[in-house]
Structure 1
Amino acid sequence: MAFDEIFWGFLIALGAGALIGLQRQQSRDEEKGPGVGGLRTFPLIALAGALSTFIAHTMGMWPMLGAMVVIGVFLAVSQYQESSRSADPGITTQVAALITFLLGVLALSPGIPLPVGDRYLLIVASAGVVMALLSFKEPLHQAVARISDDDLYATAKFVVLAVVVLPLLPNRTYGPFNVVNPFHVALMVVLIAGMSFLGYIAMRIAGPRHGLLATGMLGGLVSSTAVTISLATRARESPPMVALAAVATVLASSTMFLRMLVVIGVVAPNLLTSLIWPLWIMALGGYGTALLFYLKSRAILHEVPPVLYYNPLELGTALKFGLFYAVVIVVAKGAQIVLGDQGLYASSVLAGTTDVDAITLSVARFHQEGLDTRTAATAITAAAMTNTITKAALAAWFGGKPLAWRVALGLGVALAGGAVTLVFTT
């Protein structure tokens, strides 16, 4: 190793130890109790790892192993002393100290199959992650407390489905028009359910204290239709909630457009350039109108009521989406074969009245198989517009006229912007 690489390796090791030690020092000061160490101890542990590894270049692995044993003994003694003082001592600090030592080892280890710069970046990033995990102790514990046992069981079952059942499915096409691939259908179910689940967990973690923002922005990741129906029903029962329901509904529908961009970016990245502007403009139009509604009515807005969501990882919900996606892809392909592009547009409009994800995935797949970019972009945008119009109709049906004109105005601005953009960009 060259001198500059050795020099920078020591500095990176010290820096990584300092990051972790800074958090441990602050935690120890807040708890006002003894601990393994803080801002001085953790950089020294990292330095011990780096020094022992540097010496090991000429003396073999024994200096590094010896240093690890010595530090391990110190940590064991510290854990023993802490367990005698506390009924629930935990081992987080000891594990952090061991990681700090290993980061020091990594900084000076020869033969690592990474460029030097990438190795240093990995060390600093790892130290940052450890620092964040240690700092977010209370928020993480509170977040876990908000996750129910049913959510945990549903997640476990879905993980088994995704990692055990999915790889066993046949990866070939069946059925009418030879377009239904069981493996591909299950993979799309995992993609959509996983994305919805992230929004669902974010909603559970955010909780009711974030009110309107959480319901609108995060609710759109889970189900903008659920947000629309739930709040529209509340708005009909309680007129003062009309302004709040309008803001949250428009926010959720606008978030749906960004969610579609993420899905397309994963499934058909080469289609993203044709859709990014129409969907992005629709999202901005919706967000802008929601902001205007909020600024006009914020004096009367109160805490948003909870919205009932179903866990997207429930097997029943996931299997229903898989079946619907399979039906949509057959219908869309059949319409395209029989009626051409107009048939595809018609099936997109029809599917968009119920669910926008299935037709988005279907058209993205057709594009991967050779469908013209303009046709694919038009079909997906038409589905997004139809789904948006459907939600406006649902808001009017469940919420009445006071809510209907607000939602229609907000979503109308979004649709107009998307239509104009689509004309000029495809």
Structure 2
Amino acid sequence: MAVPLVVAVFIALGIGVLIGIEREWSDPGNLFAGSRTLPLIAGFGALVQAFFPSLLPIAVVFVAGLVVVAYVAKVMTTGDIGMTTAVATMLTFVYGAMATHSDTGLRLAVVFGTVTMALLAEKRPIHEFVARLNEAEMRASLKFLVVALVVFPLLPPERIAFLGGLRLQFVWLMVVFVSGISLTGYVFATLVGNEVGFEVTGVLGGLVSSTATAVSMAGNARRDPSLTGLCGVATVIASLTMFPRILLEVLVVNPSLFVPVLPPVVGMVVVGVVVSRVVYSGVSEDVPLEADVENRFRLWPALFFGLFFAVVLVATTTVSAEFGATGVYSVAIVSGLVDVNAITISLSNLARGGTISTATATSGIVLAASVNTAVKIGIVWLFGTQRLGRSVVVSLGAVTAVGIGFVALS
């Protein structure tokens, strides 16, 4: 280890102290391990791993035996069957052993020790969080998560020739990644409630689905014309939230493409913010708005996205070989009419592999985002009111114009 052994041991003791103090604060009258016992447990694990590693399994059994005896005594005397402290005690021993195992083990012990303390300390907020989640939606999400974890290792990592060179494992990984972003927005939307201010509605709706948010806001404006200004702002914010998603996807799939994509994307967002502040300068009342967005971290929406993503990936690979940048832009336009995530990941992946140039990938992503932004304008005109359409077309039209102008000048 690069870290001196004595330092690693003291770090292990520190982890034990932090977890022990939290346990004692959380339940001072009903503990069998607190601010004194847990540091000793962590130190025991650290010293055994450092000097007697062959005896570590015996030490684990010994500590587990102590925990079982203490837990049974607690249940018999208090009737409390909670196992949190028992589990925390075993984890503390493991973290102590990790701290003196290796440099990697030490870093992981610090990280997981901190996470453990945070989870223990946030008991009430975590329980409130779980209570506010929709049971049916979360069950659907968990089912998809199980399927995702089971399916991923079964898919072949190599390219499949008769499927256009697709790597099914990569496709499925991107499905889980994009669905996870939507799940994050959905969970936050659930936590803040069904009806929130228009700015929060726009951001959270954009994380889940900016298109679905545009449809929802158009419906709100049609039902109550007095909400037109608020719905317009929420629609614009949701549409602009799409751009940070694009940057995140590019950063994950192809970090080298992030810097070229950043200027046009930031430029589109800045123009959208500036123009919308002028257009909606008179909108100040922050009344509750309801955004009808659904959890996309489910099996069928994920499978649909996976199929669409696979088609886009094959199409961009094929047309780029046949028609070059012109073919890529054609696919970007068609894909942008439906979904910008698929084409963003596809072009990022192709640029990483050298199939297309960085400039072509950047322009294709910006073009798809511009088309998708224009689709939001069409949605509010189709499902909303003319007044809402006129306000949105100015803000999102400016965003679209900046994107198309960038592509034209590239």
Q: TM-score range by the shorter chain?
A: 0.7 to 0.9
1:249, distance to aligned residue in structure 2 (A): 1.6
2:326 to 339, 342, 349: 342
CA contact (8 A) 2:196 2:290 kept: no
1:97, distance to aligned residue in structure 2 (A): 1.6
Distance 2:121 2:278 in 1: 37
User: Among the aligned pairs, what percent are the same residue?
Assistant: 34
1:27, distance to aligned residue in structure 2 (A): 1.0
Within-5 A mapping of 1:2-401: 5-29=4-28, 33-53=29-49, 56=52, 61=55, 65=58, 69=62, 71-84=63-76, 88-108=80-100, 112=101, 114-115=102-103, 118-145=104-131, 146-157=133-144, 159-161=146-148, 163-164=150-151, 167-168=154-155, 171-174=159-162, 178=164, 182-208=168-194, 211-212=197-198, 214-287=200-273, 296-298=282-284, 300-309=285-294, 311-332=295-316, 336=320, 339-367=323-351, 368-401=353-386
Q: What are the Cα deviations for residues 257-314 of structure 1, in whole angstroms up to 9, with x where unaligned?
A: 111122222333332221122123323444566677888533x2122214231x3233
Q: What are the Cα deviations for residues 210-264 of structure 1, in whole angstroms up to 9, with x where unaligned?
A: 6545432232222100011011101221123223322322221112111112222
**Residue type of the partner of 2:98?**
L
Distance 1:205 1:99 in 2: 30
Distance 1:80 1:326 in 2: 54
Distance 1:101 1:232 in 2: 56
2:4 partner SS: helix
Measured on the aligned residues, the alpha-carbon RMSD in Å equals: 3.4
CA contact (8 A) 2:214 2:379 kept: yes
Farther-moved stretch of structure 1 (128-137 vs 337-346): 337-346
**Compared CA separation, residues 356 and 98, structure 1 to 2 (3 A):** same
1:297 partner SS: coil
**Unmatched 5+ residue regions in structure 2?**
none
Distance 2:314 2:64 in 1: 61
Distance 1:168 1:67 in 2: 37
CA contact (8 A) 1:258 1:283 kept: no
1:354, distance to aligned residue in structure 2 (A): 1.8
TM-score by length of 1: 0.81
Q: What are the Cα deviations for residues 54-106 of structure 1, in whole angstroms up to 9, with x where unaligned?
A: 6637xx728x946962x545433432243235555311111112222232333
Distance 1:249 1:340 in 2: 35
CA contact (8 A) 1:216 1:252 kept: yes
CA contact (8 A) 1:174 1:181 kept: no
1:320, distance to aligned residue in structure 2 (A): 2.3
1:253 partner SS: helix
1:377, distance to aligned residue in structure 2 (A): 1.2
Q: What are the Cα deviations for residues 324-373 of structure 1, in whole angstroms up to 9, with x where unaligned?
A: 33443455456556654334323322321221122223333443342122
**Compared CA separation, residues 23 and 283, structure 1 to 2 (3 A):** farther
The count of corresponding residues between Structure 1 and Structure 2 is 407
TM-score by length of 2: 0.84
CA contact (8 A) 2:12 2:95 kept: yes
Farther-moved stretch of structure 1 (268-277 vs 80-89): 80-89
1:174 partner SS: helix
**Unmatched 5+ residue regions in structure 1?**
none
